Amino acid sequence: MKILSVIPARYGSSRFPGKPLAKIQGREMILHVADRVAGCRLLDQVLVATDDQRIADVVEKAGHRAVMTHDRHASGTDRIHEAIQQLNLEDQDIVVNVQGDEPSTEAAWIESLIRPLIANTALPMSTLAHEISGEEMESPHAVKVLTNRHSQAIYFSRFPIPFSRMKIADFKRPIVYKHMGFYAYRKFFLDSFCQRPVEDIERAEGLEQLRALAMGSAIHVQVIEGRSQGVDTPDDLARMNEAWAAPRVKIWSSKR
């Protein structure tokens, strides 16, 4: 079984054109992501899937591999799917999706994402989450994931879930977390997912992972300690440059 990570990176972001090439402490953001992902010892290969030769050139010069894709994809998942068609993958191989604007990614997170699929060959997909704050529960920008006793996703929403007559803190076990946009899929499942039309609930919430639930697929939710710091805007980049300029000590671990 082969395990690889594909990092989608497009140049033409509406909010931040050229974002993958923006620099954090003097190094392009896409390279920070690729370097950190490559630190996961479970991966056989790390690729950057891009629609822009400038990004590909930077990636290749740094010693990583880039794969060119077209510029009409609706999502990073679709870009990844095009990229893996150029590879000789088997149905049970594992493809890890790490967004190119997640420079705080840790190799330990990727390992935590992959291990459930290694342990359970029937599992088609996994994702990550962490503990959620009260502020995040109320924010539509923070995606919530509700889980069952088997650490599988019941639902994802931008709305506070579940509705409850009791305090969430009084539940006997944690059931809702803040979702992190990291995924691992079996190759056969990614093929099926990308061939399916967009579901109404997926369009309503703006969350493509709801397509997987609508397909009846199990999604394992791995809860970790630590929080990702994605870069969506130039202001996010400025804050990250400032934060990374100071000495940092981080300890990440899986909670399940």
Please report how the helices 29-38 and 107-119 are oriented relative to each other, as an axis angle in degrees rounded to 10.
50
The pTM assigned to this predicted structure is: 0.93
Burial 198-232 (b: 16+ CB within 10 A, else e): ebeebeebebbbbbbbeeebbbbbbbbebebeebe
Whose tokens are 């794969």? That residue is: 67
What confidence score (pLDDT) does residue 139 get?
Answer: 94
- What are the pLDDT digits (tens) for 189-246? 999 999 999 999 999 999 999 999 999 999 999 999 988 889 999 999 999 999 998 7
How confident is the model over 80-91, as a mean pLDDT?
A: 96
Q: How confident is the model at residue 247 (pLDDT cuts 50, 70, 90)?
A: low
Report the percent of the chain where pLDDT is more than 70. Answer: 95
Query: What pLDDT shows up at residue 144?
Result: 97
Two structure tokens written together for 45? 């290969």
Write the DSSP assignment of 183-209 as a string of letters: EEEEHHHHHHHHHSPPPHHHHHHT-TH
Question: Cα 111 vs. chain centroid, distance in angstroms?
Answer: 13
pLDDT, the chain, mean: 93
All structural domains of the chain: 1-105 (3.90.550.10), 122-179+188-228+252-256 (3.90.550.10)
Nearest one of 81, 94, 116 to 43, comparing CA atoms: 94
Q: Compute the CA torsion angle 130, 176, 6, 125 (nearest 10 deg).
A: 130
The pLDDT, as a whole number, for residue 229 is 87
The total of other beta-carbon atoms located within 10 Å of residue 44's CB is: 11
Q: Is the pLDDT of residue 168 over 80?
A: no
Given pLDDT bands bounded at 50, 70 and 90, which one contains residue 249?
very low
At residue 255, the pLDDT reads 46
Task: Please give the structure tokens belonging to residue 165.
Answer: 């007559």
Output the DSSP codes for 137-177. Answer: HH-TTSPEEEE-TTSBEEEEESS--S--SS-GGGSSS--EE
Rounded to an integer, the average pLDDT of 37-53 is 98
